[in-house]
């Protein structure tokens, strides 16, 4: 079939970085987004559940999916507007995120350097509003092109319509409605570098750099991530499994007083953000495992599959972590990946 392929009873074990063995009733791999309406009208698809899947790097699959998994495989990057200060770049949803970041840096554009080495696809980036080392992708998104399954139309959404918030978006809040097909980024040629988060400035210093560029920041982030985070190619994981909780300033002050060393950062609206990894480690879960499910001994925030853990086993262990942190600190952690 031109523009897409269909696979019935499709294995998903190689399509999620937690390496959970599961199957989908139908897998549609889409190379041409214009084929989406026809795919959704296909008798085996119409009226059933549909889940969009990128690289499966931000997802915990709890079991077989009795519906259609739609994998966007369209590619292409186009620069279509330049001025002295910024450039607009349209990237297809199926492009690998890390490849796109490296390409943008190679072209001399700034903005995405802190977001290097994040697994996944361009299409998944706005859904999760991916972020790392003090930067969120929403800052650099101009528009998102998506297929609206409610109206049966392709639409172009500006940043306000995407309803971005911390690790969240309107796409994530209305899962099943939107199928992202491309993202246009507005990248500056120069910007103030974000150096004051999680050791970046110190790492740049270790590199012997006194006047860092976006390239140097990206290299520092690569070194930090490579040291701290387990590689999904070596051990199954989905990166940071829990969001950093946001609490009222009074609660944050009380926790900091009771637990010296607790990392707390100012957040919007008079709130504060607390480091989830610190809470998890202090609750005794770093490196703990039950069977093949556990938390990484390298980074307390990362749920790992040591081998053959099932989706339900991984989710049960994550719930233990949530309960343990709540019992010790009175804070309820929220999963960062999609749990399906």
Please compute, for residue 11, the number of CA atoms within 13 A of its CA located in the half-sphere on the CB side.
5
Catalytic residue among 113, 240, 288, 296: 240
Catalytic residue among 55, 145, 203, 336: 336
Active site residue 104: no
Q: Which residues fall within 8 angstroms of residue 86, CB to CB, at 6 or more apart?
A: 186, 187, 188, 189
Taking the alpha carbons at both ends of the chain, their separation in whole angstroms is 29
Three-state DSSP string of the chain: CCCEEEEEEEECHHHCCCCCCCEEEEEEEECCHHHHHHHHHCCCCCCCEEEEECCCCCEECCCCEEEEEEEECCCCEEEEEECCCEEEEEEECCCEHHHHHHHHHHCCCCCCHHHCCCCCECCHHHHHCCEECCEEHHHHEEEEEEEECCCCEEEEEEHHHHCCECCECHHHHCCCCEEEEEEEEEEECCCCCCCCCCCHHHHHHHCCCCCCCHHHHHHHHHHHHHHHCCCCCCCEEEEECECCCEEEHHHHHHHHHHCCCCCEEECHHHEEEECHHHHHHHCCCCCCEECCEEECCCCCCEEEECCCCCHHHHHHHHHHHHHHHHHHHCCCCCECCEEC
Active site residue 189: no
Catalytic residue among 15, 167, 225, 288: 167
Active site residue 167: yes
Q: For the chain, give the number of residues.
A: 340
Active site residues: 167, 240, 336
């Amino acid at each position: 079939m031109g523009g897409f392929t269909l696979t019935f009873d499709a294995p998903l074990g190689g399509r999620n970085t937690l390496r959970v063995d599961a199957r989908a009733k139908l897998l549609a791999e889409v190379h041409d987004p214009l084929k989406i309406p026809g795919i959704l009208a296909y008798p085996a698809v119409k009226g059933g559940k549909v889940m969009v899947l990128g690289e499966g790097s931000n997802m915990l699959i709890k079991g077989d999916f009795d519906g259609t998994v739609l994998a966007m495989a369209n590619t292409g990057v186009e620069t279509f507007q330049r001025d002295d200060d910024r450039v607009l770049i349209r990237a297809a949803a199926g492009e690998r995120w890390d490849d796109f970041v490296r390409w943008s840096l190679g072209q001399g554009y700034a903005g995405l350097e802190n977001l290097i080495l994040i697994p996944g696809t361009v299409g998944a980036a706005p859904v999760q509003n991916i972020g790392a080392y003090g930067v969120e992708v929403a800052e650099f998104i101009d528009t998102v092109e998506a297929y609206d399954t409610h109206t049966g139309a392709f639409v172009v959404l500006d940043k306000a319509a995407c309803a971005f918030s911390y690790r969240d978006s309107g796409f994530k809040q209305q899962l099943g409605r939107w199928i992202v097909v491309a993202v246009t980024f507005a990248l500056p040629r120069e910007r103030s570098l974000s150096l004051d988060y999680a050791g970046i400035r110190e790492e740049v210093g270790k590199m012997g750099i006194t006047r860092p560029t976006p390239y140097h920041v990206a290299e520092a982030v690569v070194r930090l991530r490579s040291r701290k985070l387990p590689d999904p190619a070596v051990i199954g994981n989905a990166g940071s499994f829990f969001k950093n909780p946001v609490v009222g300033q009074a609660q944050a002050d009380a926790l900091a007083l009771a637990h010296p060393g607790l990392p707390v950062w100012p957040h919007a609206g008079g709130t504060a953000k607390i480091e989830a990894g610190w809470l998890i480690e202090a609750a005794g879960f770093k490196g703990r495992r039950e069977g093949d499910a556990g938390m990484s001994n390298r980074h307390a925030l990362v749920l790992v599959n040591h081998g053959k853990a099932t989706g339900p086993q991984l989710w049960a262990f994550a719930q233990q972590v949530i309960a343990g942190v709540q019992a010790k600190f009175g804070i309820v952690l929220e999963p960062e990946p999609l749990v399906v």
